[in-house]
Amino acid sequence: MKPAARDGKNGAVGRHARGFTGGRDLAARVVALSLFAALAAVTCFGPDYPSLVVQGMTPQRHNAEMFPIAHGIEENPTGDCNLCHGGFDSFSEFTCLECHAHEKQATDSAHLTVAGYTYHSTECYGCHPTGTIISRDTHTASYFPISGGSNHDSVECGDCHQGDTYAEFTCLSCHEHDQPAMDSAHAGVSGYVYDSDTCLSCHPDGSVSLSRDEHDAFPIDEKSPHADAGCSECHSSGSYDTFSCIECHEHDKSSMDSDHSSVTGYRYDSDDCLECHPDGEVVITMSEHNGYFPITSGDHGRYTCDECHLDNSNYASFVCIECHTGEHTCAKMDPEHKGEVRNYECNNDKCYSCHPDGKEEGEDD
C-alpha cells in the first residue's frame, strides 16, 4: 500500500486535501464570524436578558461592574443598550444627558460648589457612579452637616473629598489643626489618632468638644482637683456618655461599703458616686461632721445622712423640723419662742443658728 499523498506545503492528507481551499477560505470565515459577533453585540441582551455572545455582558454584571440598569432608579427594562451607548462606536462611550431632563443651565447652577464640575457625561458618572443624587440636606441627615446654617455650608465637595471616591474624605486639609497642637489637646483622649476617620468618630457633627471650662457635668477646670485628669481617665470606654470614678481613685470597695453603711441607696457605682459627689468633693466622715453638728453621740447618732440631708446633691442644705414633727412643730415652737427670741422664725436655718449642737439652752450631753 502506498502512503497517502501530501498536498504540497499545506500538508493536507488524502480526501481532506480536496475539500480545503487554502488561506482565502479561512479569512472569509473569520470575517463572517466577526460580523456575526458585531451584530450580536449591537443587539445586546433582549427582553429575556441573554448574555452577549462576545462580551458575556448581562444586566447583573453591568450592575456590578459598570452601572445599575437591572433595578433601581435607572432601570432599563428593555435591555436596549442604545439608550446610553447608541450614539457611539464603542461601548466605553455613553451619555447621561439624552434621557435625563438635566437642562444645562439648571445643572450648572446646582453644581456651582462642585470642584471640577463640567457638563459632560463622564463627569456625571465620576460623581454619580450609581446614578444617585445627594443634596446638601441629605448629606446632612445621613453623613455630615453641610446644609444651610451649618459650619460647613460654604465648603465645596472637593474640599473634603479629595480622593477617588466620595467614601474618602479629609478633615485636616482645610482646618488649621496643626498636628503637634492637636496631639497635645487630645493627650487624654482614648484612641486618639491624627486621622480624619477618627476626627469624624468623635466630632460627627463637626462641633468642637467641650473645653474644661464648659464641662458643666463635672468640674475639671484648672482650679478643680481634677484639672490634670485626661479625658480617657474618666471616659475609659471610648464613649463620653459613660464615665468611671472608681478606676483612678483608690477607693477599695470593702472600705467604701463600710464608710457608706449609713447612706441610704448607696451602691459601689460611678453613677451613684456622681449623684452624691457632683463636684467631686469628698463628703466628710461622721466624726468630721461633729465639727458642724454632733452625729456620733447623743440623740442624733442614730440618724442616716439622708434623714437630715434630703437633697443629696447639696449637703449644705438640711432639715430639722421634718424629723421632729411630734415635738418641734411650728405650732408648738411659735408660742415658746415668739416674744422671747429675737428675730425668731420657724425654719431650719434659724433652728441651727440657735442650737448648733442640737441641744436646748442649758441641756447637758
pLDDT tens sequence across 27-54: 444 344 344 344 444 445 444 433 343 3
145 in any annotated domain: yes
Range of the domain at 193: 135-209
Single out the residue of 133, 128, 130 nearest to residue 69, CA to CA. Answer: 130
Query: Which long-range contacts link 304-308 to residues 24+ away (Cβ below 8 Å)?
Result: 304/262, 304/263, 304/264, 305/262, 305/263, 305/264, 306/263, 306/264, 306/265
178 in any annotated domain: yes
Cell numbers placing 78: 428593555
204 in any annotated domain: yes
Burial 156-192 (b: 16+ CB within 10 A, else e): bbeebbeeeeeeebbbeeeeeeeeeeeeeebeebeeb
Who wins on pLDDT, 241 or 171? 171
Who wins on pLDDT, 154 or 41? 154
316 in any annotated domain: no
Number of domains in the chain: 1
pLDDT in tens, 123-149: 888 878 888 777 888 899 888 999 888
Single out the residue of 167, 139, 173, 132 nearest to residue 153, CA to CA. Answer: 139
Report the alpha-carbon distance of residue 195 to residue 172 in Å, rounded. 8
159 in any annotated domain: yes
**DSSP one-letter code for 283:** P
37 in any annotated domain: no
45 in any annotated domain: no
198 in any annotated domain: yes
pLDDT in tens, 278-311: 888 777 777 778 888 888 777 787 777 778 888 8
